[in-house]
């Protein structure tokens, strides 16, 4: 499988899971450390629009702000740093993630809005957890007034305003819930 080239100024849905679908986070501390390393290695190379960390996988919606080689190296450093720390903490060896992180180029604003909602709704549809209160998602950060590196203003502009951001998530959640209820 040929991987999508990462191009500067383009948006991507970046995701991966643990090898053999194993857990990549055993605790809240693991998730916090993952986000700390993300900021350390990638903050200067990407603009973050959304994220969600689940126990065995993660999602990011990012705009690339640097050249491919620099960004690819930053991702490599990030994932290697986390895997090394996780392996030491858990007395394990070997790969933590499936080979190569997945990336899908986002070509239009409608798809960008949809993927942001999809990322935020992950806790609801994987674990039946309230996505609005899930701690390891960018949903609450977007609604907050606290300082953040997340592109809050840009995300809210994509949805028009805060009220429509909330409405669109609730509406999409209701649609997905109906779909799952009747299958």
Q: What is the pLDDT of residue 151?
A: 97
Q: What is the pLDDT of residue 182?
A: 31
Q: What is the pLDDT of residue 63?
A: 98
97-154 pLDDT, tens digit each: 998 899 999 999 999 999 999 999 999 877 778 999 999 999 999 999 999 999 999 9
Work out the angle at residue 26's Cα, subtended by the Cα atoms of residues 25 and 31, and round it to the nearest 5 degrees. Answer: 45
What radius of gyration do the chain's Cα atoms show?
16
Closest CA to 51 of 130, 158, 131: 131
Name residue 58's beta-bridge partners.
16, 53
pLDDT band at 179 (very low <50, low <70, confident <90, very high): very low
CA distance 6 to 174: 33
As a whole number, mean pLDDT of residues 23-29 equals 97
Q: What are phi and psi of 48, to 5 degrees?
A: -95, 125
Q: What is the pLDDT of residue 1?
A: 59
Domains parsed from the chain with CATH numbers:
11-182 (3.30.70.1290)
State yes or no: pLDDT of 46 exceeds 60: yes
49-105 pLDDT, tens digit each: 999 999 999 999 999 999 999 999 999 999 999 999 999 999 999 999 998 899 999
CA distance 13 to 119: 9
What is the chain's length? 183
What is the rounded end-to-end Cα distance, in angstroms, of the chain? Answer: 32
State yes or no: pLDDT of 178 exceeds 70: no
């Amino acid at each position: 499988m040929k991987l999508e080239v990462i191009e500067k100024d383009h948006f991507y849905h970046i995701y991966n899971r643990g090898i053999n679908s194993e857990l990549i986070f055993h605790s809240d501390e693991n998730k916090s450390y993952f986000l700390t390393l993300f900021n350390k290695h990638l903050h200067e190379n990407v603009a973050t629009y959304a994220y969600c960390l689940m126990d065995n996988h993660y999602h990011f919606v990012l705009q690339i702000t640097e050249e491919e080689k620099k960004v690819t190296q930053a991702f490599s450093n990030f994932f290697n740093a986390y895997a090394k720390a996780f392996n030491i903490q858990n007395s394990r060896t070997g790969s933590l993630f499936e080979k190569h992180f997945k990336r899908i180029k986002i070509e239009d604003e409608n798809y960008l809005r949809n993927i942001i909602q999809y990322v935020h709704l992950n806790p609801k549809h994987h674990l039946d957890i309230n996505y609005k209160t899930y701690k390891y998602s960018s949903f609450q950060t977007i609604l907050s007034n606290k300082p953040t590196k997340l592109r809050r203003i840009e995300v809210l502009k994509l949805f028009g305003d805060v009220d429509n951001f909330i409405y669109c998530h609730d509406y999409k959640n209701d649609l997905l819930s109906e779909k799952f209820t009747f299958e």
